[in-house]
Amino acid sequence: MKYMKKILIVVIIAILFIFLVSIVSVFLFKEKFKGILPAILMPSQDIAKMIKKSQDASGNGAESPLVFSDNFKISIFAEKLPGARVLALGPDGDMWVSQTGKGLISRLEVKDGEVSSQEIILKNLNNPHGLVFDYREQNNLYIAETDQVSVYNTETKVLKKIFDLPKGGRHFTRTLMWHPDGRLLISIGSSCDVCDEEDDKYASIISINPDGSDMKVVAAGLRNSVFMATHPVTGEVWATEMGRDNLGDDLPPDEINIIKAGKNYGWPTCYGENIHDADFDKNTYIRNPCEDNEPSHIDLPAHSAPLGLAFVPEEGWPEEYWHNLLVAYHGSFNRSEPTGYKIARLKVDANGVFSGAEDFISGWLQNGVNALGRPVDLLIQPGGILYISDDQAGVIYKVAYQPKDDTVDLISVSQPAVNQVITSPLQISGEARGTWYFEATFPVELRDENGLALAQGYAQAQDDPSARLDSRLDSSQTRRAARLVDEAGWMTENFVPFSASIDFDKPTTLTGVLILKKNNASGLPEFDRQIEIPVNFSAVNLGEAKKCVISGCSSQICASEEIATTCEYREEFACYKNAACETQATGLCGWTQTAELTACLEKNSR
């Protein structure tokens, strides 16, 4: 008994000691702990519930904890996916998700753009991360675990190892991507924060054949290039890169690199634009030891922890975003003041030239000490759709582009005025930006209040667009605009005058609408625009409404003339007794559909 009491006293003393050491450590290193807290603490609130609630209240996500442009909507695509990392779309449109920390691969069944069900397909894997479907055999899903690459056949349910990878170290995730040449790229992080590796496969991007043969080191000196993407125009491979720790809050920069075969990107002795890491490498050199390495293409804020990256496609996305690079900043760990926890928009053009950066989505970091989530992978689609995985909140977000109606800023009509009384021929004039036209024209249409088309035609641009540059531009902007007009013809942002003259049939109503449509040569509905001008018709120009005649043995037919029919009676014929026989929107005679008539016909036709 005495022995047990001694043990209990020792345990209590040990616990008290650990508690006191913890308190002292927090006091002495409170700034360091402050930077770590968002990465290690559980979210204070459920971001999925917050986003759903905000949409219930406002319908547009305006009160969402996330901050983003009004032209986009963010919703919860899937939840209850702890540790969600890499996203991959299967040939049938279903989405596959690696849940790295849980050792799981899950499949989300997608119908009509929504998740209808989700299930765990593979369990007990060794930190599964990279996922890509075989471009040749679409039922084969390649999976990268820490120590191997395997192929899972979605039909036979067989998982087969094809290549061994070096065992895990500090960076244990492995990511996959198909190179344009048909080989499989595999990114492998370093085994340490900063050190000299003995195995050259660490801190590199390697490639293999689809069957796992013929391994080659493609690029070296990459401490932790977790994600890769192919530039849609140049075909080059771009990759995110995380810099080392313990050089302060602002060094070294994280990076975006363009991966070139045979190049070394500097780690562990160099970083960024070939800056020597003298903290690690104490050697003295006559020449810069970094000058033979490949410098970073874009430097990012230190400790942002860039992960997923995606180039914005043209189809369905606003033109100012085309070819831009979206990057998920997972969020800092080794920094006194937290940074990251957002999606950044890097403005690059079709040739990959970088011109600046701004936030695309932020708000995950709350009050600098708590993170509602940490974005990981970006799966971008045509049509203005982006999926984002979040391994801390265990959700997948869906971002959808919803353009505002910018018609007012694109076209201005001077004639006819709103509610003007018009006569035939109708003279139409105004001005529209060059992007409203195609081959210097756009369609116009006149309808009566019933929607019956009275006339159709085209408005024609009236002069050389370069002669009517926007008066609000300064001289340098004017010269640039003129140059763009010379290069692009009518595809100018400046206003260009137009006119049209259309003859129209005599209307049978007193009001109508003039419709001017953007000439959308692409045919894509997201680029459709039109403006409607209410007009009035002169009473003296009204045509006689088409006379409609009721005929048939049971007065069941409404037409422009009497029609002979058989005298077979049906119960539904009685429904027309109180119905109106008159000219419809199509211009033809017919029974005017009302709720009473519809209900009567349904009741008597059963």
The residue ranges of the chain whose pLDDT is under 70 are: 1-6, 8, 10-11, 14-34, 57-62, 463-492, 526, 539-546, 566, 584-588, 605-606
- Residue pLDDT, tens place only, 453-506: 899 999 999 865 444 444 334 444 444 444 444 444 445 678 999 999 999 878
Residue 99 to residue 103: CA distance in whole angstroms: 6
Exposure string over 199-220, b if 16+ CB within 10 A, otherwise e: eebbbbbbbbebebeeeeebbb
Q: Give the model's pLDDT for residue 368.
A: 81
What's the pLDDT tens digit per position in 185-213?
Answer: 999 999 999 999 999 999 999 999 999 99
The reported pLDDT for the residue numbered 378 is 98
Q: Long-range CB contacts (< 8 A, 24+ apart) of 513-516?
A: 513/446, 513/447, 513/449, 514/413, 514/416, 514/426, 514/428, 514/444, 514/445, 514/446, 515/444, 515/445, 515/446, 515/447, 516/411, 516/413, 516/428, 516/432, 516/442, 516/443, 516/444, 516/459
pTM: 0.70
